[in-house]
Amino acid sequence: MTMNQLQQSFENKEVIFQAGGEEVKLTAGTVKNYLVSGNESVTDQEVAMFINLCKYQHLNPFLNEAYLIKFKGRPAQIITSKEAFMKRAESNPHYRGSKAGVIVLRNNEIVYTNGAFTLPSDQIVGGWAEVKRDDRDEPVHVEISISEFGKGQATWKAMPANMIRKTALVNALREAFPDSLGSLYTEDDKHDFSQPRQVDADVQETPTKATESTAELLADFKASKEQQAKEQPKPVEPVEEDSDQMGLFEATGDVD
């Protein structure tokens, strides 16, 4: 098999799985052409990891339940939507509901509000969430500070109460269901780009060029979208004859 044939075979290999009762079909070519955001080309290994995560976590990227982002100088990031978190929790037989709200400073006192409701005079300082399981005596309770997550992005400025509430809920769901949600992260989680697959959203970090929220990456992507359209696609990198490229899916756990 020639190098071009090997690459084409990899690009066209179809992975089929179920997500939300629907059949999803993914190929490396589909991911590269339609499901990647950013200004840098993803590698075949990153595409294989994305496809396998979608398959084994039953995520439908065509419904924006998961997407792949990559910018120059940064490892690719696999992002999951909040709706996917909720669907996964609700499908767990031990899930018994959740609630979340905002923590505000009101008249020099800390107040826990329900939902995203706040008074005009309130100072939002954080968010809280609880997730109940029928196999645990106590609900999983999470409280987070807005200073660690709200970095001045447009959505955080426009809807700070909604954003901090959602982020608190996602963190609580992840702690309540580590087996199914422990490896999934949303656009509002904090990421260490030097270790893309070992992220701890609870660790305080000093923001640097290597540590940013993916919401900031999305803002960068929107700002550079017009410039991206003018860029020519990069040529396919040469593939060695003895490459084990066709084994990428199998190496990451895919089984036909």
pLDDT digits (tens, 9 = 90+) for 58-114: 889 998 888 888 888 888 888 888 888 888 888 889 999 999 999 999 999 999 999
Cα distances from 147 to residues 39, 126, 127, 144, 158, in angstroms, run 29, 8, 11, 9, 16
Give SS3 for 79. strand
Q: Which residues of the chain have pLDDT under 50?
A: 191-228, 238-239, 241-246, 250-252, 254-256
Task: Please state the pTM of the whole predicted model.
Answer: 0.60
**Contact of 174 with 184, CB cutoff 8 Å:** yes
